[in-house]
Structure 1
Amino acid sequence: MALDGKTAVVTGAARGIGYAYCQRLAADGAHVVAVDIDDPVDAVSELTGGGDKLGLVCDISDPSQVDAVTGTVLDRYGRCDILVNNAGIFPSTDLEHMSIELWREVQAVNVESILLFARAFAPGMRAAGWGRIVNTGSGITLTQNRDLAYMTSKGTVHVLTRALANELGDSGITINAIAPGLVATQGFLGRARPNGPTTDEVLARVTALQTIKRQSVAADLSNALGFLVSDDADFITGQILHVDGGMTRTGA
């Protein structure tokens, strides 16, 4: 129960990787606030261990809704100790067919929400002299993938992670990013691929590129999160941790 008494906020928490993060944080003793555009109450009811559990509905691309959620957290718990910016969208986009509206939506959800939540919670972390911010990046930034808006957003997440670490690193707050490979979450399995490879074909291709020849599971990522938010990682900040079975082996 290394996180006993800490308050953790996780976005994109109703299912998949975000829910696995909530499970790990609760098991380690934290109060867990699960935030999602879909009602996370049922998911929260299944969490065990830890302290208090709270599910909040929020469209994180809407600053007013983020303000409402962060206000609720601060009123109830006093501060957020651990912020996990996991929510994201990944529509297939290319230069010819992408609208400016879709481009802006991807950046608002995947990038701007990180700034909004960090701006709300960093003052409390600074006052406490302890805080953890973990963002979800992506190994896609090191591939030849052509999802233009998504790839750009995740590259920006990596740079924003470092920029926040530069600004907050002297105040007891660490800021890192976990860059997953391909995980067979509900979101991935339900993604439309007109005239493209099947999900099984995509998973097989990715696994073949890894040095560890098995499919990634959510626990691989939640284990990494458990380390990064612990005191064992208090000298690690501004890093992009690729958790992908060795698929990406250079750069960040």
Structure 2
Amino acid sequence: MEFQMSLEGKTAVVTGAARGIGYAYCRRLAAEGANVVAVDVIDATGSLDELPGAAEKLAVCCDVSQPDQVADVEKAVTARFGRCDILVNNAAVFLRAALADLTLSDWRRIQTTNVDSMFLFAKAFAPGMRAAGWGRIVNTGSTMTLSQVRGQLAYMTSKGAVHTLTRALANELGDDGVTVNAIAPSVVPTEGFYARPPGPAGLTNDEEMDLIVATQTIKRWSTTEDLANVLAFLVSENASFMTGQILHVDGGRVRSGA
């Protein structure tokens, strides 16, 4: 079979797209020829001007945890492109807080942003994919679901739910030609990572990254391009027989016997 990567004629919706991993996803999808809809709580219009490719780009401001705003995104995408072929659920918020310090409002904010948003976007765009007999949904999970990190109860719980949601959606949508997978990265040094408070024992962000690299089999920092390369495969025709999978793209941080 010929190796096929071109996404010409496809429309991709990416949440959390204004910077970091989401923006890297937008760059790669645009480079492969897809129309790109960048969804974020902040305006990503300026960032879209720098994307490669000649396909169309659209920025939509949206709080992904709000059903009415997600519905507005669906209307905008349908009006402009007809349907969404590729959905990349990447938007998330991070919180470092132990049980004793975790409030119910913070807990709910993490779950609604990191998990409910993926349900809402799948609910909005899966019908069009099913009708077309083709679709790709890729969710952003985390290797933290298999790690021994303390102080991240809400975040780790949300990402565990993302992995389960991925498998459940794959069960439901497979008969209609829609695949659903998740990319589970380790810690990636993006703008959002450096905006986080200091890590355990007062470590700087760079020191925390070095500790993470020490647990990997591949001894270098991860990059957004590492993730974008995997995304490009998952949304292509080459991955048509892969669904319900959680791909740990982490330099071997999570591995058998570790």
Please give the range of the TM-score, normalised by the shorter of the 2 chains.
over 0.9
CA shift for structure 1 position 196: 2.1
Distance (Å, rounded) in 2 between the aligned partners of 1:226 and 1:69: 23
Tell me which of 17, 20, 35 is aligned to 1:16: 20
1:63 corresponds to: 67
Paired AA for residue 112 in structure 1: D
Structure 2 spans left out of the alignment, 5+ residues: none
Tell me which of 183, 192, 208 is aligned to 1:202: 208
1:127 pairs with 2:144: no
2:188 corresponds to: 183
Paired AA for residue 47 in structure 1: L
Distance (Å, rounded) in 2 between the aligned partners of 1:142 and 1:133: 23
Would the alpha carbon gap of residues 180 and 49 (structure 1) be closer, same or farther in structure 2, given more than 3 Å must change? same
Q: TM-score, normalised by structure 1?
A: 0.97
Q: What SS is found at the alignment partner of 2:175? A: helix
1:31 pairs with 2:45: no
Distance (Å, rounded) in 1 between the aligned partners of 2:195 and 2:118: 25
2:217 corresponds to: 211
Alignment of 1:99-248 (within 5 A): 99-146=103-150, 147-193=152-198, 196-248=202-254
CA shift for structure 1 position 91: 1.1
Distance (Å, rounded) in 2 between the aligned partners of 1:64 and 1:133: 21
Distance (Å, rounded) in 2 between the aligned partners of 1:163 and 1:38: 30
1:92 corresponds to: 96
Q: What SS is found at the alignment partner of 2:101? A: coil
CA shift for structure 1 position 182: 1.1
Residues 43-91 of structure 1: CA deviation (Å, up to 9, x unaligned): 1111110410001111111111111111111111111000000010011
Contact kept? 1:4, 1:50, Cα under 8 Å: no
Q: TM-score, normalised by structure 2?
A: 0.95
Distance (Å, rounded) in 1 between the aligned partners of 2:26 and 2:47: 9
CA shift for structure 1 position 93: 1.7
User: How large is the RMSD of aligned CA atoms in angstroms?
Assistant: 1.2
Q: What SS is found at the alignment partner of 2:106? A: helix
Paired AA for residue 104 in structure 1: R
Task: Using the TM superposition, name which of 77-86 and 50-59 deviates more.
Answer: 50-59
Tell me which of 46, 53, 61 is aligned to 2:50: 46
Tell me which of 73, 77, 87 is aligned to 1:83: 87
Q: What SS is found at the alignment partner of 1:96? A: helix
Deviating beyond 3 angstroms after TM superposition, the runs of 4 or more aligned structure 1 residues are none
Q: What SS is found at the alignment partner of 1:122? A: helix
CA shift for structure 1 position 153: 0.1
